[in-house]
Structure 1
Amino acid sequence: MKATQGEYFVGLDHVRALAAFVVFTWHFNHVNDGHLNGPEAFPFSILAEGHVGVAMFMTLSGYLFAKLLDGQQIRYIPFLWNRVLRLFPLLIVAFAVVGLMKHDANSAGGYLIQLARGFVLPSWPNGGWSIAVELHFYLILPLLLAISSKRPANILLVLVVSMGFRILWWWEAGTVQSFAYWTIVGGIDQFVLGIFAFKTREWMAGRHLNAALIGIGLLVYMWGFDSLGGFYRMGVYPSENPIWIIHPSIIGLTFAALIAWYDTSFKMKDKGLSGVIAKIGACSYSIYLLHFFVVFRFANQINSDVIALSSFPMVFAASLICFLCFVPFAFISFRLIELPPLRYRKHYKRTT
């Protein structure tokens, strides 16, 4: 999808498409409350624990805005206005549909309070909580870019602060999973590492062996994470395991390196298969917010009426088919709900 001032990066839309599929499969894998995971899922563990798809989106946001604003300054009010136009029309539609489906006149007041709290707390439905985290990132983006403008490594101090907070929280409360996953306390690692990856992107340009080793390392790590019980079954939920202190950083670091490698090592074209994948990526926001309405029904219906989804390879195949079937509806949403407000975007960059 083109940015406000016409920039378009096909490869980054490929990453969006992948992130959307990872999240879709994560929820598809909830079939019959199965959460199929464990050693048997390798090398699909990253999909079996597809909550990391949200981290992929956040890492990509950090990378993309660093790329868009490289060497330039933000006109902050127009920037925020553009982000509202980009995110809120579809978000409001999703909230309205959830309200109509799950709430009546007696519970409407409580639902509106839930939505108001969602600007601070992770209470927005249909994955909207991550949009609130994204908004928190936008609020501090100018500061993050200023910190990294002259010496990119300076921004890594933010990771020290966020990880220190997670350590203290785990020490005092005995668990930090909720903070690490649902809030900016963990998400900031991925945004920051995305920015850092762009600033140091030459480290990964053309380094295919490095990218392969990082990718394999990520798959092995996710296999180990999955084998420990993963998101839901690592002891009690939320987990008391201290791995959640470092999990956001590990995921953000590997995704950031791979995004930088993909963006700098290949020249993607907006046609053919590359163009099709890019178009899926362009409507990834609609996929993300709207798939909650159908994904669980898809999985349960297939499991009960078509074929037992008793192994993760079977879940993967069924999820891919359902994902591709859902894409046209997401594309319609993209065209009718997401695109029209963008005509009111304002230029928000000025060259330094």
Structure 2
Amino acid sequence: MKLQDERIRDIGLDHLRALAAFMVFSWHFTHAWYGYPVSFEGAPSVFFLAILDEGHTGVALFMALSGYLFAKILDGRSMNYLAFLARRGLRLLPLLFVMLFVVGVQQYFAGNDVLAYLQSLPYGLIEPSLPNGGWSLTVEFHFYLMLPFLLYLCRKSPLLLLSAILLAISLRGYLYMRNGSVFWPAYWTLTGRIDQFILGILAYQYRSLFIKKHVLFVLSAVAFCLFYYCFDRLGGFYQFNGYPSPTPLWIVIPTLEGAFYGLLIAYYDNSFKSSLGWFSQFVGKIGQYSYSMYLLHFFVVFWMADYIHRHIMDISYYYTAQLWALLCFLALVPVTFASYHLLEKPFMNIRVPYIKRATRPPVAVGA
């Protein structure tokens, strides 16, 4: 029974990974980089769809999931840190290297300087400069460097992690006052994203506060969607007083995202036993393949939108484009299935144990 419960819980988290992957895919499909085929102006009248119209926020959901999952795995346990890094490398690097190689081939056939491209890649360890979503892996890597310290604070008292969030908010406030904008560090670096990892950790530690709190979740979801609806109407990611946006909202947007997504994850993971029926398992499989979807969709998503818009039907109307985004997303599932089994799973099967021993009894859900 215990193994089955763990399996069900994992399916629940995979449902959320699938949602995050679709949010990012939909954002790129509907808007590309320049408001095509759907312009950036306005926002969908169905207000909760604003989080799809501003689907870049799916990255925040991925990062909150990462913090939550590591807190869950390591609850009451210590780890071999070098083994942990090795295991994460085996999990993430093979597909990343394949993606970077394909981008290099594209650069070659486009007549670009391949040597300059290769020389730029090492900077991706420090700067969020890797292509096709690879920048977020740089942020994830920086989080791994801080993880032992964050877990130490969490063992002392989870509330100590709030001091790290307050420090990050203060730093973003300082950068805003100094530069007149904090968009770049808030969105592209750990300076903003650290809130989401930490709030994912805290969501696990205080998960008992969210179990079956349906009214709390609904009110929080409505408030978050209304925030993004207003943000979207004011111009959103690209057109809120220009790009990069000078709005001070970017001081707190990472925190708001992390707080809501942490609540969503803890609520969904602990309030329900996800069905093992075909639909639940299908969505769970999409979540299982979400890393492949995230890195590989860049190669086709813009072409898909352009081809449909020019050769099949006009999809400049948001709701039409959103429906096509869902169909194209599902069409890529067989590709991500193949990628997962060929480029991810073989390396995941190389077991590198990193959990050493229990440091304290794990806290029971609902305690």
Compute the TM-score of the two structures, normalised by the length of structure 2: 0.92
Letter paired with 1:127:
G
Structure 1 residue 111, shift from structure 2 partner:
0.8
2:48 alignment partner, SS class: coil
CA distance in 2, matches of 1:164, 1:36: 31
Structure 1 residue 270, shift from structure 2 partner:
4.0
Identity of matched residues, %: 44
CA distance in 1, matches of 2:112, 2:253: 41
In structure 2, what is the equivalent of residue 261 of structure 1? Answer: 267
CA distance in 2, matches of 1:212, 1:109: 51
CA distance in 2, matches of 1:34, 1:276: 29
Q: Deviations over 1:46-82 (max 9, x none)?
A: 0010000000000000001000100001110110000
Q: Deviations over 1:114-167 (max 9, x none)?
A: 110011101100000001100111111111111011321110111111111111
Letter paired with 2:116:
G
CA distance in 2, matches of 1:285, 1:269: 23
2:78 alignment partner, SS class: strand
Q: Is the 8 A contact 1:11 1:263 kept in 2?
A: yes
CA distance in 1, matches of 2:119, 2:153: 36
CA distance in 2, matches of 1:108, 1:102: 6
Q: Is the 8 A contact 1:56 1:252 kept in 2?
A: yes
Letter paired with 1:29:
T
Q: Choose from 52, 59, 83 the match for 1:54.
A: 59
Structure 1 residue 84, shift from structure 2 partner:
0.2
Structure 1 residue 246, shift from structure 2 partner:
0.5
Write out aligned runs for 1:272-311 (5 A): 272-311=278-317
Structure 1 residue 108, shift from structure 2 partner:
2.1
In structure 1, what is the equivalent of residue 324 of structure 2? Answer: 318
CA, structure 1 residues 232+335, in 2 after alignment: closer, same or farther (shift >3 Å)?
same
Structure 1 residue 296, shift from structure 2 partner:
0.4
Structure 1 residue 311, shift from structure 2 partner:
2.0
In structure 2, what is the equivalent of residue 28 of structure 1? Answer: 29
Structure 1 residue 33, shift from structure 2 partner:
5.8
Q: Choose from 211, 224, 232 the match for 1:226.
A: 232
Report the more deviating stretch, 37-46 or 22-31. Answer: 37-46
Structure 1 residue 265, shift from structure 2 partner:
0.2
In structure 2, what is the equivalent of residue 91 of structure 1? Answer: 96
Q: Does 1:68 align with 2:69?
A: no
Write out aligned runs for 1:118-133 (5 A): 118-133=124-139
Q: Is the 8 A contact 2:26 2:322 kept in 1?
A: yes
Write out aligned runs for 1:8-23 (5 A): 9-23=10-24
CA, structure 1 residues 348+269, in 2 after alignment: closer, same or farther (shift >3 Å)?
farther
CA distance in 1, matches of 2:347, 2:154: 32
Q: Is the 8 A contact 1:37 1:45 kept in 2?
A: no
Q: Does 1:108 align with 2:114?
A: yes
Q: Deviations over 1:86-117 (max 9, x none)?
A: 00000000000000012369722211121100
Q: Deviations over 1:186-216 (max 9, x none)?
A: 1101000000100000110011111111111
Report the more deviating stretch, 7-16 or 203-212. Answer: 7-16
Letter paired with 1:95:
L
In structure 2, what is the equivalent of residue 3 of structure 1? Answer: none
Q: Is the 8 A contact 1:37 1:48 kept in 2?
A: no
Letter paired with 1:50:
G
CA distance in 2, matches of 1:101, 1:183: 26
In structure 2, what is the equivalent of residue 341 of structure 1? Answer: 347
In structure 1, what is the equivalent of residue 83 of structure 2? Answer: 78
Q: Deviations over 1:25-44 (max 9, x none)?
A: 00001252644452435331
Structure 1 residue 310, shift from structure 2 partner:
2.2
CA distance in 1, matches of 2:178, 2:189: 18
2:314 alignment partner, SS class: coil
CA distance in 2, matches of 1:279, 1:36: 32
1:290 alignment partner, SS class: helix
In structure 2, what is the equivalent of residue 327 of structure 1? Answer: 333
Q: Deviations over 1:223-264 (max 9, x none)?
A: 011011100001121011100000100011011101100001
Q: Is the 8 A contact 1:19 1:56 kept in 2?
A: yes
Q: Deviations over 1:9-35 (max 9, x none)?
A: 110011100000000000001252644
User: How many residues are paired up?
Assistant: 347
Q: Which runs of 5+ in 1 are unaligned?
A: 1-5
Compute the TM-score of the two structures, normalised by the length of structure 1: 0.95
In structure 2, what is the equivalent of residue 38 of structure 1? Answer: 42
Letter paired with 1:120:
I
CA distance in 2, matches of 1:319, 1:186: 28
Q: Deviations over 1:262-293 (max 9, x none)?
A: 00101124442111111000000000000000
Report the more deviating stretch, 267-276 or 294-303. Answer: 267-276
